[in-house]
C-alpha cells in the first residue's frame, strides 16, 4: 500500500510518473492520495472502504477543464491561495483559518496547463481501478455482491499478460471455479471484453461517491 504521510504541504507542480514495484510507470496523482499499489501486492478491498477523507475531496481540473486529479480541501486551498488554481465550484459553507476565510472549494482549475502523459492512466492498473472499470461486478456471473478478486482471463501460467485487456473483476466463487483454466476450457467468458478505461477512471477510483458538483466536469471529459 502506497500510503504517504501528510507532513507538510507540498506545492502542486506536475503529476509525477513513478516506477511501481512491477516496473511499469504509474501516475502518482497526489502526495496524500490513498491510491492502492500494483495489483500483485495489494490486499483485498471492498467498495466504500475509503474512510471519511473522501468526503472532503476536491476535483482538480487542468487549465483545459479536463479532470486530472482529486485532492484534499487543504491542498486545494493552498493551490488557490498561491494562485496556482482558481475555484470553479464552491460550497455554500466557508473555511475559516487564522488569517483568512474562503468558501470550501468543490472543483478547482489549475491556472497553468499541466501536460499529462497520454497513456499514464491506462498503464496504472490497480485492483481498485479494475473494480471501478468493471462497476464492482463479477465479469463472469454478474454478481455485485460478495468479495471481489481480480482474474487473469488467460492465466499467467498459460502466458496471459497483466494488462488491462487480460484482467477482470471476478467474484471469489467464480475465481475458484475457473481456476487455472482458459476461458474456453472453463466455458467462462467475461461479459465485456476488458480494455483500458477512460482517463477519468481515477476519479471514480479515488472516491466511492461522486459529488453532484463534479458531474458536469466528468461528463465533459
Positions touching Zn ion (CB under 5 A) are 138, 140-141, 143, 171, 174
Closest to Zn ion by CB, 118 vs 145, is 145
Distances (CA, A) of 60 to 5, 44, 152, 166: 21, 28, 33, 31
CB of 57 to Zn ion, least distance (A): 31
Are the C-beta atoms of residues 2 and 16 closer than 8 Å to each other?
no
Least distance between Zn ion and beta carbon 121 (Å) = 26
Nearer CB in complex with Zn ion: 76/171: 171
Q: 143 or 207: whose CB is closer to Zn ion?
A: 143
Q: Which is nearer to Zn ion, 20 or 149 (CB)?
A: 149
CB of 102 to Zn ion, least distance (A): 47
Rounded-to-integer distance, Cα 133 and Cα 153, Å: 15
Q: Name the minimum Å distance from CB 136 to Zn ion.
A: 12
Name the minimum Å distance from CB 172 to Zn ion.
8
**E strand residue ranges, the chain:** 16-19, 25-28, 57-61, 67-72, 85-96, 101-110, 148-152, 167-171
> Which set of grid coordinates corresponds to residue 178?
475457473
Please report the DSSP string for 60-123 in residue order.
EE-TTS-EEEEEEHHHHHHHHHTTSEEEEEEEEEEEE-SS-EEEEEEEEEESS-----TTHHHH
Q: Hey, which residues does 25 pair with through a beta bridge?
A: 19
- We find the least distance from the C-beta atom of residue 149 to Zn ion, in angstroms, to be 9
* Nearest to Zn ion of 58, 167 (CB atom): 167
DSSP 8-state assignment for residue 146? S
Coil, helix or strand at residue 28: strand
Q: Which is nearer to Zn ion, 62 or 143 (CB)?
A: 143
Amino acid at each position: 500500500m502506497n500510503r504517504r504521510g501528510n507532513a507538510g504541504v507540498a506545492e502542486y507542480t506536475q503529476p509525477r510518473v513513478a516506477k511501481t514495484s512491477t516496473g511499469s510507470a504509474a501516475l502518482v496523482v497526489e502526495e496524500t492520495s490513498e491510491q492502492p499499489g500494483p495489483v500483485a501486492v495489494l490486499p483485498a478491498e471492498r467498495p466504500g472502504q475509503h474512510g471519511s477523507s473522501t468526503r472532503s475531496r476536491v476535483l482538480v481540473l487542468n487549465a483545459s477543464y479536463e479532470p486530472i486529479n482529486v485532492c484534499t480541501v487543504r491542498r486545494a486551498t493552498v493551490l488557490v491561495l498561491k494562485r496556482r488554481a482558481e475555484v470553479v465550484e464552491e460550497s455554500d459553507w466557508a473555511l475559516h483559518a487564522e488569517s483568512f476565510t474562503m468558501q470550501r472549494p468543490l472543483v478547482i482549475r489549475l491556472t497553468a496547463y499541466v501536460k499529462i502523459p497520454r497513456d499514464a492512466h491506462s498503464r496504472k492498473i490497480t485492483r481498485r481501478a479494475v473494480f471501478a472499470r468493471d462497476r464492482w461486478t463479477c465479469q463472469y456471473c454478474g454478481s455485485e455482491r460478495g468479495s471481489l478478486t481480480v482474474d487473469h482471463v488467460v492465466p499467467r501460467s498459460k502466458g496471459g499478460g497483466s494488462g488491462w485487456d487480460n484482467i477482470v473483476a471476478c467474484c471469489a466463487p467464480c475465481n475458484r471455479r475457473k481456476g487455472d483454466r482458459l476461458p474456453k476450457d472453463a466455458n467462462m467468458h467475461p461479459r465485456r471484453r476488458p480494455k483500458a478505461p477512460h482517463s477519468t477512471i481515477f476519479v471514480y477510483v479515488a472516491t466511492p461517491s461522486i459529488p453532484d458538483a463534479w458531474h458536469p466536469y466528468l461528463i465533459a471529459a
